[in-house]
Amino acid sequence: MQRFKIKQLTVLETSQNKNSVLNDFKQLTKFGLSLSVVFSSVAGYLLAVNTVEYKTLMLLAFGGYCMVGASNAFNQIIEREPDALMKRTKNRPVPTGRISVNAAMTIAVILTIIGILILYSINAKTALFGAISIFLYTSAYTPLKPITPLSVFVGAIPGAIPFMLGWVAATGEFGIEAGMLFMIQFFWQFPHFWAIGWLQFDEYKKAGFNLMPTGEKNKKATKLIIIYTIFMLLVSVFPVLRLSGDLYLLPISAIVIFLLGAVMLFYGIKLHKEQTDIMARKLMLSSVLYITLIQIIFVIDKFLH
C-alpha cells in the first residue's frame, strides 16, 4: 500500500513538472500573443487564395508561431532585469530563474532556425520577412525601449508583418495588396500600444521604459492617438475604392469596418477629453476587438465577391 502511494505521488509530481515546463514554455513564447499573430497570418493567406492548400496553411501557422515565439523569447532574455521590477512580468520564467538564460537562448535559437526553415519551404520571401521581423524586434525595438518612445515606431514594423506575411506565403510576391495589409496593422499598433503605455505608465517607468509618444500622459499624446486612429481607419477602408489590386472590399464591409474604427476613435477622443485610465482601457480593448474583427470581415468579404 505504501509503495502504491509513493508511486501515485511520483506520477503526480511528474505530471505537475511536465505541466510546469509546458506553462513556462508558453510564457516564454507568449502563447496567446503568438496565436493572435498566427491568426493574422492565416487571415492574410486566406485573402490571397482561391483554393486553400492546407499543407501551406499549416506550415505558415507553425512556422509563424516559431518565429514569434523566438522573438518573444529573445525579448525576455534581454529584458529579464526590467521584467523583474514590474508586477505584470516579474513572474515570467526567465526573471524568476525557472528557465535559465542559456536554456531560454537555446529555445529561442532553435525556434528561429525551425521557423525560418519552415517558412522557406513555403517560399523565400516569406522566410525573408519572417527573419526581418525577428531581427527588428530583437535588435532594434527591444534595445530602443529604454532609450526613446520612438521604439514604438520601430516595433510597429515587425508588428505589422504578420497580416501581409500570409499574402506573401500564398503568392510569393510583395505587391500593393500585401502593402495595404501591412499598413492596416502598422497604423493600428499606435493607438493600441499607446493605450497600453498609458495604463502601464508607472510600471514601465519603474523598469526604465517610456512608450508614450510625448514621454508623458498628456493631451499631446492623446492627440497623436486620435491622428493615428484616423490614419488606421482610412487605410482600413481604402480597398473599397478598388485601387489596391486584388485586395478590395464590398461597400457593406467597408461600412462595418468604418463603424468598428469609429468606436476606437470615440474612445480615443474620450481619452483626450478625460485623460483617465478607464478610457485608455476601453481604447485598448476596442483596439483588440477591431484588429480581430476586421481580419475576419476581410476574409468573409473576399469569399462573397
Question: pLDDT per position in the chain (305 positions), as tens?
Answer: 555 455 554 544 555 566 788 899 999 999 998 999 999 999 999 999 988 999 999 999 999 999 999 999 999 999 999 999 898 888 999 999 999 999 999 999 999 999 999 999 999 999 999 999 999 999 999 999 999 999 999 999 999 999 999 999 999 999 999 999 999 999 999 999 999 999 999 999 988 888 899 989 999 999 999 999 999 999 999 999 999 999 999 999 999 999 999 999 999 999 999 999 999 999 999 999 999 999 999 999 998 87
Residue 229, C-alpha cell as written in the block: 486612429
Distance CA 299, CA 277 (A): 34
- Cβ atoms of residues 186 and 133 within 8 Å: no
Distance CA 147, CA 292 (A): 31
CA 130 and chain centroid, separation: 13
Cell 527573419 sits at which residue? 131
| Structural element, H or E, at residue 128 | helix 124-136
Q: What are phi and psi of 29, to 5 degrees?
A: -95, 5
Give the closest residue to 141 by CA, choosing from 126, 124, 123, 156: 156
- Cβ atoms of residues 197 and 74 within 8 Å: no
